[in-house]
């Protein structure tokens, strides 16, 4: 019940409509009671002294009850769907917001399909828990009270006898609820695994086709589907045992009432009409009791879903420091920016996993208005430094200064508005080229969009409809170089003080790369630029180059000075030159023996 009370406030904005729904559900048992009472009139009055006037009254009453009950059913269905649907939207939005604000560490450890399952399936189950649990549960509980009162008003002795089955009914419900909740949670877990497997297959469809792994993926999905089916079968088995048991218990109660009712008829203490109406009310009493039992099955599935959603909502966000947002952004005014470095990594240490540091005492100073490059072997820690700069993670030790102030002095939203990043792995959305550029800044004017597109070389792409050309899902209709150009334009449209290019030229041809270097020289007048690259041709014109090795900056200087040292940077240059020479040297096929030798 703790979970039920936790999510119940989601219904507060719709309490008026919920009250209407509840009143509509309450009308139905009252109308059912009236219909049963009409049976008594038929048996005790109409059968003994039939009159056309009484028959018309009874027929009219039946018709009126049917009309009112139909209207109540419509109100119940309409407002119940309205409240449930709006509650789902609110909770799904709240959960999605939490997912978006969780750290990358969380998303790196959990499958996308699991998150989707919680967002879609689990939230839908909570709707059943809250709306059905509240309206149906209260309605059925009041129905039990109403008909129990009517039974006692007709014959207290028979009423007490009819209630003897309740302890057995509730005992079976408690046992069933305990086992069903565990089984329902297993169903939710297996559904998340099934969703994750399907999502992985779709998101890596090119890889699947390249390596001809269609049958392998089909087998994986079938295995997950079988696991989900087995979990559902366990729930169905429990339900298959509980439902007939509860029906048998209710039938036993009815049989006992019929037995003692027959004795009452024999002694004349009860009329035939009285017994008919008593059995009718008893049926209306047992029906909601069994309904409450079956509702328990739905609610157990809802509780299992609520546990999973609550787990996510209780996870901590990538929180700002207590002093966040205390530093005014006036520090970024042009007349002040030149007086302090744009960026300082001050003895930073960071590890994704404990005791496996990626950055070790990492120190680097980037002057305002400069173009500084980070180079080094794969896994040296370059991209990790960029992630820390965006506060996707926070350092374990040390600090990062942005224009003289600790990053933690700014809330993450404001900080990231001052950064423009072209990531190593380009992500594009379904839509047009313009949609993907504007994603970097939703309020960008047409002038800003056009300028960013030109600076990134998007205008040179052969686009049938210009910036309004659709690029397909994840930009599948574009080449790697075209995707990178759009990503660069998306960063430039932000007009942020710090521009970060993380392997942003790896898919560009030599001409496009040279044009980008020219663009960077223009941009440096208003931006500080941080380059990360494996292709050293991209960084040779940078003001300063930092060589990263083993999570540390081991060399720092410009291209000429670093070559003169004949150290780590010179070794990287020499290694890349050797690779370039090998790639440019034509392959010479070995000379085959003359065909005559095989004759």
Neighbours of 202 (CB within 10 A): 11
**35-67, pLDDT tens digit by residue?**
877 777 776 665 566 667 777 887 888 899 989
| Per-residue 3-state assignment (H helix, E strand, C coil) for 361-379 | EEEEEECCCCEEEEECCCC
Q: Which of 540, 484, 545 is nearest to 512 (CA)?
A: 484
**Which of 266-275, 315-324, 582-591 holds the top average pLDDT?**
266-275
In which element (H, E) is residue 40 found?
A: helix 15-41
Q: What is the pLDDT of residue 89?
A: 92
| Nearest-10 Cα torsion for 409, 414, 416, 417 | -140
pLDDT value at residue 507? 65
Question: CB count, 10 Å around CB of 464?
Answer: 7
CA distances from 418 to 245, 497, 499, 500 (A): 66, 6, 9, 11
Using CA atoms, how far apart are residues 9 and 4, in angstroms rounded to an integer?
Answer: 9
Check if the beta carbon of residue 532 is closer than 8 Å to that of residue 501. yes
Distance CA 102, CA 94 (A): 13
Cα–Cα nearest to 519, from 457, 455, 449, 461: 455
pLDDT digits (tens, 9 = 90+) for 502-529: 887 776 777 777 777 777 888 887 889 9
Bridge-partner residues for 374, per DSSP? 532, 546
User: What SS3 class is residue 480?
Assistant: helix
Mean predicted confidence (pLDDT) in 398-413: 87
Decide if 129 contacts 306 (C-beta within 8 A). Answer: yes
Q: Determine how β-strand 343-353 pairs with β-strand 356-366.
A: antiparallel
- Chain-centroid distance of CA 221 in Å reads 21
Residue-averaged pLDDT of the chain = 82
What letter would DSSP give residue 552?
A: E
Q: Which residue has the tokens 């370039």?
A: 580
Q: Two tokens at 108?
A: 């790196």
Q: Which domains does the chain have, with CATH numbers?
A: 12-313 (1.20.1560.10), 425-495 (3.40.50.300)
Encode pLDDT of 274-317 as tens digits: 787 888 888 877 777 777 766 766 777 788 888 889 999 998 87
CA gap 234, 291 in Å, rounded: 21
Please answer whether residues 303 and 392 qualify as being in contact, where contact means their C-beta atoms are separated by less than 8 angstroms. Answer: no
Closest CA to 255 of 334, 365, 162: 162
């Amino acid at each position: 019940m703790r979970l039920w009370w936790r999510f119940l406030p989601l219904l507060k904005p719709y309490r008026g409509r919920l009250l209407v729904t509840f009143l509509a559900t309450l009308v139905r048992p009252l109308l059912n009671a009236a219909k049963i009472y009409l049976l008594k009139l038929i048996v005790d009055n109409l059968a003994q002294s039939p009159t056309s006037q009484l028959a018309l009254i009874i027929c009219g009453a039946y018709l009126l009850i049917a009309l009112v009950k139909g209207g109540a059913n419509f109100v119940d269905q309409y407002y119940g769907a309205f409240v449930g649907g709006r509650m789902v939207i609110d909770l799904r939005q709240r959960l999605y917001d939490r997912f978006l604000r969780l750290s990358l560490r969380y998303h790196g450890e959990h499958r996308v399909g699991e998150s989707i399952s919680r967002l879609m399936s689990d939230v839908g189950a909570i709707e059943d828990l809250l709306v059905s649990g509240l309206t149906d549960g209260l309605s059925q509980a009041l129905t039990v009270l109403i008909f129990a009162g009517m039974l006692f008003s007709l014959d207290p002795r028979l009423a007490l006898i009819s209630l003897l089955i309740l302890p057995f009914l509730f005992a079976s419900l408690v046992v069933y609820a305990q086992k069903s909740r565990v089984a329902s949670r297993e169903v939710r877990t297996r559904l998340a695994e099934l969703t994750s497997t399907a999502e992985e297959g779709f998101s890596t469809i090119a890889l699947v086709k390249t390596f001809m792994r269609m049958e392998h993926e089909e087998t994986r999905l079938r295995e997950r589907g079988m696991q989900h089916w087995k979990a559902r079968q366990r729930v169905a088995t429990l339900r298959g045992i509980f439902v007939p048991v509860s029906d048998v218990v209710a039938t036993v109660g009815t049989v006992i009432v019929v037995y003692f009712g027959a004795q009452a008829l024999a002694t004349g203490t009860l009329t035939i009409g009285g017994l008919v109406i008593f059995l009718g009310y008893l049926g209306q009493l047992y029906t909601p009791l069994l309904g409450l039992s079956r509702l328990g099955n739905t609610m157990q599935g809802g509780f299992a879903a609520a546990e999973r959603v609550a787990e996510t909502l209780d996870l901590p966000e990538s929180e700002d420091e207590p002093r966040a947002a205390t530093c005014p952004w006036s520090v970024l005014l042009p007349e002040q920016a030149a007086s302090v470095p744009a960026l300082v990594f001050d003895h930073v240490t960071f590890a994704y996993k404990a005791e496996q540091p990626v950055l070790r005492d990492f120190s680097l100073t980037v002057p305002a208005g400069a173009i500084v490059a980070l180079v080094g072997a794969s896994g040296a820690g370059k991209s990790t430094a960029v992630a820390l700069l965006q506060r996707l993670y926070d350092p374990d030790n040390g600090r990062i200064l942005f224009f003289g102030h600790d990053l933690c002095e700014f809330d993450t939203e404001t900080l990231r508005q001052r950064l423009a990043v072209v990531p190593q792995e380009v992500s594009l959305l379904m839509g047009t080229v313009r949609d993907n550029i504007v994603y970097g800044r939703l309020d960008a004017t047409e002038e800003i969009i056009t300028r960013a597109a030109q600076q990134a070389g998007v205008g040179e792409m052969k686009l049938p409809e210009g910036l309004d050309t659709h690029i397909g899902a994840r930009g599948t209709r574009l080449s790697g170089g075209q995707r990178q150009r759009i990503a660069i334009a998306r960063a430039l449209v932000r007009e942020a003080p710090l521009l970060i290019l993380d392997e942003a030229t790896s898919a560009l041809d030599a001409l496009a790369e040279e044009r980008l270097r020219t663009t960077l020289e223009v941009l440096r007048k208003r931006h500080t630029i941080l380059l990360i690259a494996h292709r050293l041709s991209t960084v040779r014109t940078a003001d300063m180059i930092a060589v990263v090795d083993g999570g540390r900056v081991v060399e720092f200087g410009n291209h000429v000075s670093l070559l003169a040292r004949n150290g780590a940077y010179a070794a990287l240059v020499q290694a890349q030159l050797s690779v370039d020479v090998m790639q440019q040297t034509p392959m010479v096929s070995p000379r085959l023996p003359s065909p005559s030798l095989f004759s």
